[in-house]
């Protein structure tokens, strides 16, 4: 661990938080619009429409904030876990600049209303080519992170023959290995379809083939966001809370299952798409239920770890350990509250994945409510919690205000408790998502009564985020200078020596992942690629 790893982490986290700021501001606009406040006329010409704002909200939060934070945090964790510097500092900086260049390239058309296509950019909606090229460069950057992590880990293994890879490093490797496999779908969509088409090299495109490639990556990207949060929950939070990780073998097993099962399930986002046979949809439903299993393992293991912490702090009986957790530590409070809401996000996800039940919720406001529990809380609130120790550590300054941080954390939790259930309910009442609800011609009375709650919840979330940015900005610039420790890794009650050695043997697991993907996606992708005429011209109608 040298100064380079810290500077790399700081650079990535800084970009992530700037993106989050943009995402949060545009988020407020959506929430107010839902509540009937006419915001967009006063924002012209900077923001042209609900959809322009919504596209920025999705891309900045779900794609940019997450990816940059992860590319800062995970290599930092791996380096600390192995107690070794990254294999190549030069590669680390080259990676950062490739990703930053990609971000700028994509941001210009996005901000300029030339890429108002949402963060899913379904063709034949046709964005400016720079949007697709820029996002592709960001993905290429993540592959370079994989390369650097792999080189670092292999060098460590050569120096430590026969030693077990420490859990945090193992999880970091799984996260990026999973993502690298999963991102191949998006890469193919970009390189073969969208980029040549947006440049005018080919005349047309196809909606279904593009969607199928997109969701090949689009579901596992959720795990790419979540697994770094899990790394913190498993390896750091138990110790921050004063306890131990309950089971290292179970933690390793759950990550291996995520490696295998994250990708061959993407068609559960396409249950309502014509052109894919129902049998394949059922198979993806089955495998999605299978990936629920490592999530349940995580729920158990992390909860049991927190219980050891509460008991070490003097709790007795069945439930008082939860009350005894160090709630005055904003980093712990943020992450425990994120876990609480994520439990409901997981249950909701299972409903979404339930094949025909999906017809009740698909593309409704329910999905928006779900996504704000998962990426909007489990991931975002955890990353905020991590930054409450990471930013002071990187800046060499104390956290500007612990009290403000605690208020911020609880405001996020409370705001989400209003915002997300309301959207779930609106979805069940049939309100579509991604729609300028303030101007629809088909307003239903059963929606109208609930819409103000979306505005109130969204405003509380915005207030929380504002306090967060204020605290972090002051921490980085004016807070008292003093060396701040990084969070330490937790010991385990049941340690790595209890995990069978085959858990750490990569080749078999990677082969199994490839086989499952070939079975779940092979026939559909081959059929679509072989029979699809690229005959949809693009449209730019925003």
Where in 337-396 is the site for other proteins (CB under 8 A)? 350, 354-360, 362-364
- All residues at 6 or more sequence positions from 326 whose CB lies less than 8 Å from its CB, including other chains: 240, 241, 242, 309, 313, 332
Q: Which of residues 123-182 bind other proteins (CB under 8 A)?
A: 124-125
Which of 21/289 has CB closer to other proteins? 289
By rule CB under 8 A, what string of x and - marks binding of each residue 518-537 to other proteins?
Answer: -------------xxx-xx-
Q: Is 271 in the site for other proteins (CB under 8 A)?
A: yes
Find out whether the peptide bond into 45 is cis, omega within 30 degrees of 0: yes
Of the candidate spans 134-142, 276-284, 468-476, 509-517, the one that interacts with other proteins by CB under 8 A turns out to be: 276-284
Contact residue for other proteins among 6, 211, 219, 397 (CB under 8 A): 211
Of the candidate spans 19-27, 96-104, 336-344, 438-446, the one that interacts with other proteins by CB under 8 A turns out to be: 438-446
DSSP 493: E
| Terminal Cα distance for the chain, rounded | 49
Contact residue for other proteins among 21, 93, 143, 289 (CB under 8 A): 289
Contact residue for other proteins among 83, 97, 157, 278 (CB under 8 A): 278
List residues bridging with 245 in a β-sheet: 492
How far apart are alpha carbons 60 and 30 in whole angstroms? Answer: 14
* Three-state SS annotation for 406-453: HHHHHHHHHHHHHHHHHHHHHHHCCCECCCCHHHCCCCCHHHHCCHHH
Of the candidate spans 34-42, 201-209, 386-394, 398-406, the one that interacts with other proteins by CB under 8 A turns out to be: 201-209
Which of 153/271 has CB closer to other proteins? 271
Contact residue for other proteins among 88, 430, 516, 529 (CB under 8 A): 430
Q: Is 207 in the site for other proteins (CB under 8 A)?
A: yes
Contact residue for other proteins among 85, 112, 421, 432 (CB under 8 A): 432
Least CB distance from residue 265 to other proteins, whole Å? 13
Q: Is 194 in the site for other proteins (CB under 8 A)?
A: no
Candidates 95, 92, 66; CA nearest to 79 is 92
Least CB distance from residue 321 to other proteins, whole Å? 9
Contact residue for other proteins among 158, 314, 442, 480 (CB under 8 A): 442
Which of 33/329 has CB closer to other proteins? 33
| Whether the Cβ atoms of residue 142 and residue 67 lie closer than 8 Å to each other | yes
Least CB distance from residue 218 to other proteins, whole Å? 14
Q: Is 43 in the site for other proteins (CB under 8 A)?
A: no
- CB-count exposure of residue 204 (10 Å: 0-12, 13-18, 19+): middle
Least CB distance from residue 356 to other proteins, whole Å? 4
Least CB distance from residue 526 to other proteins, whole Å? 14
Contact residue for other proteins among 3, 46, 501, 541 (CB under 8 A): 541
* Three-state SS annotation for 322-383: HHCCCCCCHHHHHHHHHHHHHHHHHHHHHHHCCHHHHHHHCCEHHHHHHHHHHHHHHHHHHH
| Whether the Cβ atoms of residue 493 and residue 249 lie closer than 8 Å to each other | no
DSSP 267: G
Contact residue for other proteins among 296, 323, 403, 518 (CB under 8 A): 296
Of the candidate spans 138-146, 380-388, 459-467, 491-499, the one that interacts with other proteins by CB under 8 A turns out to be: 491-499
Least CB distance from residue 278 to other proteins, whole Å? 5
Q: Is 449 in the site for other proteins (CB under 8 A)?
A: no
Which of 71/339 has CB closer to other proteins? 339
DSSP 125: B
Candidates 77, 215, 87; CA nearest to 155 is 87
Which of 150/363 has CB closer to other proteins? 363
Least CB distance from residue 305 to other proteins, whole Å? 9
Least CB distance from residue 276 to other proteins, whole Å? 6
How far apart are alpha carbons 328 and 339 in whole angstroms? Answer: 17
Least CB distance from residue 379 to other proteins, whole Å? 23
CA–centroid distance for 108 within its chain: 23
Number of H helices, E strands in the chain: 23, 2
- 278-312 helix and 506-531 helix, angle to the nearest 10 degrees: 150
By rule CB under 8 A, what string of x and - marks binding of each residue 240-269 to other proteins?
Answer: ----x-xx--x-------------------
How far apart are alpha carbons 71 and 54 in whole angstroms? Answer: 25
How far apart are alpha carbons 203 and 536 in whole angstroms? Answer: 8
Contact residue for other proteins among 37, 202, 293, 500 (CB under 8 A): 293
Q: What is the largest CA-CA distance in the chain?
A: 69
Reading the block at residue 397, the tokens are 């300054």
How far apart are alpha carbons 515 and 142 in whole angstroms? Answer: 24
Q: What is the CA radius of gyration of the chain?
A: 23
Least CB distance from residue 400 to other proteins, whole Å? 36
Contact residue for other proteins among 154, 481, 498, 505 (CB under 8 A): 498
Least CB distance from residue 522 to other proteins, whole Å? 16
- CB-count exposure of residue 3 (10 Å: 0-12, 13-18, 19+): exposed
Which of 319/478 has CB closer to other proteins? 319
Contact residue for other proteins among 88, 150, 401, 435 (CB under 8 A): 435
Least CB distance from residue 540 to other proteins, whole Å? 8
Of the candidate spans 70-78, 217-225, 305-313, 337-345, the one that interacts with other proteins by CB under 8 A turns out to be: 305-313
> Binders of other proteins: how many residues, by CB under 8 A?
75
Q: Which of residues 53-92 bind other proteins (CB under 8 A)?
A: none
List residues bridging with 492 in a β-sheet: 245
């Amino acid at each position: 661990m040298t100064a380079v790893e810290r500077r790399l982490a700081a650079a990535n986290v800084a970009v992530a938080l700037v993106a989050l700021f943009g995402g949060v501001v545009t988020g407020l606009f959506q929430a107010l619009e839902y509540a009937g406040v006419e915001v967009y006329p006063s924002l012209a010409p900077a923001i042209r429409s609900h959809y322009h704002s919504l596209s920025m909200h999705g891309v900045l939060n779900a794609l940019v904030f997450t990816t940059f934070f992860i590319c800062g945090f995970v290599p930092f964790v791996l380096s600390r876990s192995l107690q070794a510097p990254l294999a190549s500092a030069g590669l680390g900086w080259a990676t950062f600049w490739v990703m930053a260049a990609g971000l700028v390239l994509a941001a210009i058309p996005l901000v300029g209303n030339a890429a108002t296509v949402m963060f899913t950019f379904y063709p034949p909606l046709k964005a400016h080519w720079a949007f697709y090229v820029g996002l592709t460069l960001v993905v290429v950057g993540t592959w370079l992170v994989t390369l650097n992590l792999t080189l670092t880990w292999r060098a460590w293994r050569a120096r430590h023959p026969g030693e077990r890879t420490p859990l945090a490093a193992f999880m970091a490797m799984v996260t990026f290995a999973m993502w690298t496999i999963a991102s191949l779908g998006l890469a193919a969509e970009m390189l073969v379809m969208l980029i040549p088409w947006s440049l005018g090299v080919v005349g047309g495109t196809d909606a279904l083939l593009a969607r199928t490639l997109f969701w090949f990556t689009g579901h596992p990207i959720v795990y790419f966001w979540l697994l770094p949060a899990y790394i913190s929950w498993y390896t750091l939070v138990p110790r921050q809370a004063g306890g131990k990780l309950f089971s290292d073998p179970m933690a390793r097993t759950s990550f291996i299952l995520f490696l295998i099962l994250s990708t061959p399930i993407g068609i559960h986002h396409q249950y309502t798409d014509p052109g894919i046979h129902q049998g394949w949809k059922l198979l993806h439903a089955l495998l999605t239920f299978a990936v629920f299993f490592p999530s349940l393992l995580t729920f158990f293991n992390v909860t049991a770890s927190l219980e050891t912490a509460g008991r070490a702090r003097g709790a007795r009986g069945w439930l008082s350990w939860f009350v005894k957790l160090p709630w005055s530590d904003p980093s712990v409070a943020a992450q425990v509250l994120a876990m609480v809401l994520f439990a409901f996000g997981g249950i909701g996800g299972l409903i979404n994945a339930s094949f025909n039940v999906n017809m009740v919720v698909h593309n409704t406001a329910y999905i928006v409510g779900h996504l704000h529990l998962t990426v909007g809380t489990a991931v975002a609130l955890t990353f905020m919690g991590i930054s409450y120790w990471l930013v002071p550590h990187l800046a060499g300054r104390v956290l500007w205000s612990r009290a403000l941080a605690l208020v911020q954390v609880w405001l996020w939790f409370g705001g989400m408790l209003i915002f997300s259930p309301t959207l779930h309910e609106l979805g069940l009442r049939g309100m579509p998502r991604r729609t300028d609800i303030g101007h629809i011609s088909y307003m239903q009375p059963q929606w109208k009564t609930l819409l103000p709650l979306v505005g109130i919840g969204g405003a509380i979330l915005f207030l929380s985020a504002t306090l967060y940015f204020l605290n972090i900005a002051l921490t980085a610039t004016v807070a008292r200078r003093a060396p701040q420790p990084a969070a330490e890794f937790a010991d385990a009650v049941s340690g790595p020596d209890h995990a069978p050695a085959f858990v750490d043997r990569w080749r078999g697991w990677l082969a199994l992942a490839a086989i499952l993907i070939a079975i779940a996606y092979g026939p559909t992708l081959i059929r679509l690629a072989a029979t699809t005429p690229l005959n949809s011209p693009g449209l730019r109608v925003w």
